[in-house]
Structure 1
Amino acid sequence: MPLDPTLARLANAVLMVPFESHHAPRWVLEGLAEGISGVCLFHNNLQSPEQVRALNAQLGEAADTPLISLDEEGGDVTRIGQARGSDYPGNAALGAVDDTELTRATHREMGGRLADLGFNTDLAPSVDVNVADDNPVIGTRSFGADPGLVARHAKASVLGLHDAGVVACAKHFPGHGATSQDSHHVLPLVEADAEVLRERELRPFRAAVEAGVRSVLTAHIEMPTLGGSGPATLNHHVLNRVLRQELGFTGTVVSDAMEMQGVSERIGIPEASVLAVAAGCDLLCLGRFVYADQVGAVRTALVEAVRQGRLRGERLEEAAARNADLRAWARGRAAVRASVPGPDGVGLSGARRATRVRGEPPRLHDPFVVEVEAPAGVAVGEVPWGLSPWFADTVRVTPGATAAEDLSARAAGRGLVVVVRDAHRYPDTRDLVLSLLAVRPDAVVVEMGLPVWLPDLGTHVSTYGAAHVNSRSAAELLGAERALQDARSGV
């Protein structure tokens, strides 16, 4: 039975879709022409600046200002910086500096670069308050563990992106910072008291709303003390009583990726999508791997749910209207982009200001650098990190499978640098570092994640992130000749 064309177009209006390649396939272009509100680009869509500009121009010609989005947080989560790492420090580094003008300038410059590439929407910033040291999904993506600090930088980052004419999207509502589980794989549960959640998790979102944020992205996370049940993405009470009524948000509610197991593992993506729209989501970010046939299944599920009375047609109309308003806002802000200056080095400057040293960095003679492997989270993906661009003799090792004695022997008579990432989360990494320090107490330990664990011996350098600029700031501090030459030449 063919779909009712009016209902099908309304269903299209709540969709933000991914696609497979560096070129827009026919189903995406036709879908945009038939009312799909936008697209979300990932690593597999981005090859070069020229290719991205051409792709986004093609997408923009398929409809009147579709939302062309990506997850560009700067720092560890970068799409445009996948090849070598981001040119912008992430939120943890900006929070460590705690200069809201720097945060606004960083997001303004990053937004300007996105606009130059043809994007009009950034699924950022992350305004989660990271209070769980073992949080596997947020970590350096957060400005910090203090709600007041996160709130003021949430406001600054929203304003910075808006300065550049790019739609900001505060995430992950109502807050993913107090979990020890990743909603890509499971449904995390936070059982803190409601008043704690209001003062801690909700405070940055309140600040983002006050700053005029136009979209908020939900978390697939359960907070029963706020009311309702199930993941926030499917929780009518959380999205309406809390976000809209209590916080006063009037813009577009965007779902986190609907393919994530925290929301759709038990019921499937089409059914989860119906429940999300019914609960109050206006725009469904379907994820990275939900392509033509699956997009069609979601569209059909939404239309059938209206026919069956499980989803009010008025709810679809309301969501479509909010998304149309967001597209109109993006269209109206496009003129702002011409006034945004080009890159001025604010990213590297911020990374340098964020880098912290405990102890006195020694003069490294003929340095030998050991990078200890750490798994990349799903949100981060495979992005280069470490000091190998700056030091010629660098090895990447797997903790638990590498003998400290062998590494110590290779470093004999030379300066030793050990690079780790979130060592506090990995016992094997800590064991390897301690074994090396027992033999080489003069070694330098560079932590490129959160500096929760600080060994007693050696010099400790903390970068608060693993972006390219974070790496370079540490390399300069350690006297890497390549980094210093770049600094002298203004590269």
Structure 2
Amino acid sequence: MRRRHLLALAPTAALAACTAPGGDSGTDPATDGSNDSGGSSDDGTGSSAGKDPSDDPTTDPTPEPTAAELLLEELEPRELAGQLVMVGIPAGTEIPRDVLEEHHAGGIFLLQVWESADEVDATVAAAQEGSRSDLPPLIAVDQEGGQVRMLRGDAARKTPSAETLGRDGTDAVAEAYTSIGEDLAARGIQVAFSPVADVVDPALGDDNAPVGALGRGFGTDPEQVGECVAAAVEALDGQGVAATLKHFPGLGRVRENTDFSAEGIEDPVTGPDDPFLDSFTAGIDAGAQLVMMSSAIYPQLEEGVPAMFSRAAIQDLLRDQLGFTGLVVTDDIGAAKAVADVPVAERATRPLAAGGDVVITADASLTGQLVDALEEWAAQDPANEERVKESALRVLTLKEQLGLLTS
């Protein structure tokens, strides 16, 4: 496995960036001379006064701004807010015109089952045409294999479920996810909402409705699941497709599916030191560029708060403890029963306040309300504005890494 520093924010643009765990600079004050008052300069005078730092060949020049950083400075407040929303487009429908042209959504994802490559291609083209030419959208799809394959027919090949792949081993995982990556790349889709990194509690098995019952998990052992997750991430990356680990910090211990129920979605066990987190760590180490937050509740992290709204889950655990610097997205906040009682505006702003980046809605009609809420929230406080810019930069940086932005 390889460790990548994902979407790291350059010093000139790190608006509210998180620090990695430990904060060790790798130097020892006792040995690096930083506390040595008796040190002498190169000119033998004991003073460095009057020296131009640029004369020091060891001084790094200020790095050139990236395409993402340059574009960030050009965007209007509504465009910044819009980049933090991804909108679901059901099969057989068209992208509502206002989603991209008025609300500047950062991307779309394909909902339901698409069996025609031509229809997928037409939708991808429409998304590109509806966006600013220098600000193309991210295109994503749930493509896990097994029952969860939104692209079928001549749009994508059939691949086994994660449950089957987990039994067959990492070579089988790599083969399946290579084909998934090839199929998505061929359709102009840059983001896979997969793999599932949840470890299914063996005591629940098929009674775990969101994962176990659908064969979506690689297994019940965190180490084995982690190896499969890493193989999937690396296979997708090899095809130029960004992987999304889901559903952090894990849905393997809940009984009900958060898409369809607001009850039975509490996991009383998962906490900061839980071994079930190891599969997510393996995916991060393998280079996953996105993590999708669960809408279940984890009292060991934050009582009564869905993980996608929890600072303890996103900032403290995922970012600070596990060191993830990439794009954090929500599970569906549009049609999911788990958050149906939360006001729409709060569904947009609470993930940002908790350290997340992008909200995902399966209900395209909510796009305007979500973008309105984010734009208004940013205008209320300079700290909120910086938080929106930080997340927008992560979105733009991912787009740049995927070859969507020109320098």
TM-score, reference length from structure 2: 0.73
Task: Pick from 290, 311, 336 the counterpart of residue 364 of structure 2.
Answer: 290
The reply on whether 1:191 has 2:268 as its aligned counterpart is: yes
Q: After TM superposition, give the deviation of residue 47 of structure 1 in Å.
A: 5.0
Q: Residue 468 of structure 1 corresponds to which residue in structure 2?
A: none
Contact between 1:65 and 1:328, CA under 8 Å: does it hold in 2? no
Task: Pick from 203, 210, 230 the counterpart of residue 137 of structure 1.
Answer: 210
Contact between 2:116 and 2:153, CA under 8 Å: does it hold in 1? no
The reply on whether 1:159 has 2:234 as its aligned counterpart is: yes
Bigger helix fraction: 1
The reply on whether 1:205 has 2:280 as its aligned counterpart is: yes
Contact between 1:24 and 1:55, CA under 8 Å: does it hold in 2? yes
Contact between 1:167 and 1:215, CA under 8 Å: does it hold in 2? yes
Contact between 2:181 and 2:239, CA under 8 Å: does it hold in 1? yes
Task: Pick from 234, 254, 264 the counterpart of residue 179 of structure 1.
Answer: 254
Q: Residue 37 of structure 1 corresponds to which residue in structure 2?
A: 106
Q: Distance in 2 between matches of 1:243 and 1:148?
A: 18
Q: Given the superposition, is the C-alpha separation of residues 204 and 24 from structure 1 closer, same or farther in structure 2, using an over 3 Å criterion? A: same
Query: Once the two structures are superposed, what CA deviation does each residue of 1:94-116 show, in whole Å capped at 9, x if it has no partner?
Result: 01112x12211210111101111
Q: Residue 124 of structure 2 corresponds to which residue in structure 1?
A: 56
**1:144 alignment partner AA:** G
Alignment of 1:264-343 (within 5 A): 264-287=339-362, 289-291=363-365, 294-309=366-381, 312-331=384-403
Q: Which deviates the most, 229-238 or 306-315?
A: 306-315
**1:194 alignment partner AA:** G
Q: Which runs of 5+ in 2 are unaligned?
A: 1-74
Q: Distance in 2 between matches of 1:39 and 1:190?
A: 30
Contact between 2:173 and 2:231, CA under 8 Å: does it hold in 1? yes
Q: After TM superposition, give the deviation of residue 83 of structure 1 in Å.
A: 9.3
Q: Given the superposition, is the C-alpha separation of residues 84 and 104 from structure 1 closer, same or farther in structure 2, using an over 3 Å criterion? A: closer
Secondary structure of the residue that 1:57 maps to in structure 2? Answer: helix
Q: After TM superposition, give the deviation of residue 15 of structure 1 in Å.
A: 0.7
Q: Given the superposition, is the C-alpha separation of residues 118 and 84 from structure 1 closer, same or farther in structure 2, using an over 3 Å criterion? A: closer
Matched positions, count: 321
Q: Distance in 1 between matches of 2:231 and 2:325?
A: 20
Ranges of 4+ aligned residues in structure 1 off by more than 4 Å: 82-86, 260-263
Q: Residue 108 of structure 1 corresponds to which residue in structure 2?
A: 178
Task: Pick from 154, 165, 168 the counterpart of residue 94 of structure 1.
Answer: 165
Task: Pick from 73, 88, 95 the counterpart of residue 144 of structure 2.
Answer: 73
Query: Once the two structures are superposed, what CA deviation does each residue of 1:221-244 show, in whole Å capped at 9, x if it has no partner?
Result: 111213465011000111011101
Task: Pick from 237, 240, 247 the counterpart of residue 315 of structure 2.
Answer: 240
Where relative contact order (Cα < 8 A, 6+ residues apart) is larger, the structure is 2
Q: Distance in 2 between matches of 1:148 and 1:230?
A: 28
Query: Once the two structures are superposed, what CA deviation does each residue of 1:290-310 show, in whole Å capped at 9, x if it has no partner?
Result: 32xx21111112222233449
Alignment of 1:400-415 (within 5 A): none
**1:290 alignment partner AA:** A
Q: Distance in 2 between matches of 1:301 and 1:90?
A: 38
Q: CA RMSD in A?
A: 2.5
The reply on whether 1:149 has 2:224 as its aligned counterpart is: yes
Q: Residue 23 of structure 1 corresponds to which residue in structure 2?
A: 94
Query: Once the two structures are superposed, what CA deviation does each residue of 1:359-383 show, in whole Å capped at 9, x if it has no partner?
Result: xxxxxxxxxxxxxxxxxxxxxxxxx
Contact between 2:141 and 2:192, CA under 8 Å: does it hold in 1? yes
Percent of aligned pairs with the same amino acid: 29
Q: Which deviates the most, 107-116 or 302-311?
A: 302-311
